[in-house]
């Protein structure tokens, strides 16, 4: 994995940072950019971003590890994130997760051997009224049941 921004990403980085009064305030959008560019934010990416941002690697690691939207290790082509916070839990999130685990033959935090799916549990994704729900890549899937989950998984190649 290359841990340097492409010329295009460097341009976006400069534009992003210029929109904030302090470089540090741009940390989240810069990390979003880095994740798009590198796929995940491992130790080398964290070191690189720390240098770019003029921060310590420990500080950047602290931010990356706090937010579930950042992946600290490689993930599959599709990242399934099941919300496990109270409204979704009351709506059956645990059953959704168990069903997906069984269907894919993986545990939470694992990736299928074909590299197709990674399964994670995350905190509230602000779609509590349509619980239980999950995010797959950039899309929300709501009011989940076994049938819906099966259709969703089959539609994702
Ligand atoms: S509790 Fe699941 S989206 Fe808010």
Which tens digit of pLDDT belongs to each residue from 57-106? 999 999 999 998 899 999 999 999 999 999 999 999 999 999 999 999 99
Ligand 1 center from residue 49 Cα (angstroms): 31
CA distance 157 to 152: 10
Q: Into which CATH architecture does domain 7-66 fall? A: Orthogonal Bundle (1.10)
**Residue 140 token pair:** 């929300």
Q: Find how far residue 54's CA is from the centre of its chain.
A: 24
Give me the phi and psi of 141, to 5 degrees please: -125, 125
Strands (E), 69-126: 78-83, 117-122
pLDDT at residue number 1: 57
| Domain residue ranges in the chain | 7-66, 78-155
**Residue 150 token pair:** 């099966």
Ligand 1 center from residue 129 Cα (angstroms): 8
Atom of ligand 1 nearest to the CA of 86: 1
Mean pLDDT of 1-18: 93
Question: For the structural domain made of 78-155, what CATH number should be given?
Answer: 3.40.30.10
**Residue 1 token pair:** 């994995």
Which tens digit of pLDDT belongs to each residue from 96-136? 999 999 999 999 999 999 999 999 999 999 999 999 999 99
Q: Would you place residue 157 in the very low, low, confident or very high pLDDT band (cuts 50, 70, 90)?
A: confident
Mean pLDDT of 16-36: 97
Answering whether pTM is above 0.85, one says no
C-alpha separations of 63 from 8, 29, 31, 68 in Å: 24, 12, 9, 10
Q: Which of 88, 97, 121, 134 has most ligand 1 atoms within 8 Å of its beta carbon, as the pocket-test mutant?
A: 88
The H or E element that residue 47 is part of is: helix 43-53
The CA dihedral of 126, 132, 134, 139, to the nearest 10 degrees, is: -70
pLDDT at residue number 19: 97
Q: Which of 85, 121, 129 has most ligand 1 atoms within 8 Å of its beta carbon, as the pocket-test mutant?
A: 85
Strands across the sheet containing 117-122 = 117-122, 78-83, 134-136, 139-141
Residues with CB under 6 A from ligand 1: 83, 85, 87-88, 124-128, 131, 133
What count of Cα atoms within 13 Å lies in the side-chain half-sphere of residue 24?
7
CA distance 111 to 114: 8
Atom of ligand 1 nearest to the CA of 93: 2
């Amino acid at each position: 994995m290359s841990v340097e921004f492409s010329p295009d990403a460097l341009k976006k980085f400069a534009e992003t940072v210029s929109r904030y009064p302090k470089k540090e305030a741009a940390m989240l959008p810069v990390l979003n950019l880095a994740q798009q560019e590198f796929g995940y934010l491992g130790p080398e990416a964290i070191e690189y971003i720390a240098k770019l941002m003029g921060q310590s690697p420990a500080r950047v690691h602290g931010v990356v590890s706090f937010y579930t939207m950042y992946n600290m290790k490689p993930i599959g082509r599709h990242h399934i994130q099941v919300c496990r916070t109270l409204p979704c839990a009351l709506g059956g999130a645990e059953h959704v997760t168990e069903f997906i685990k069984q269907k894919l033959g993986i545990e939470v935090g694992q990736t299928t051997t074909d590299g197709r799916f990674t399964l994670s549990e995350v905190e509230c994704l602000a779609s509590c009224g349509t619980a239980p729900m999950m995010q797959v890549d950039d899309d929300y899937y709501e009011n989940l049941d076994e049938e819906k989950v099966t259709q969703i998984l089959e539609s994702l190649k």
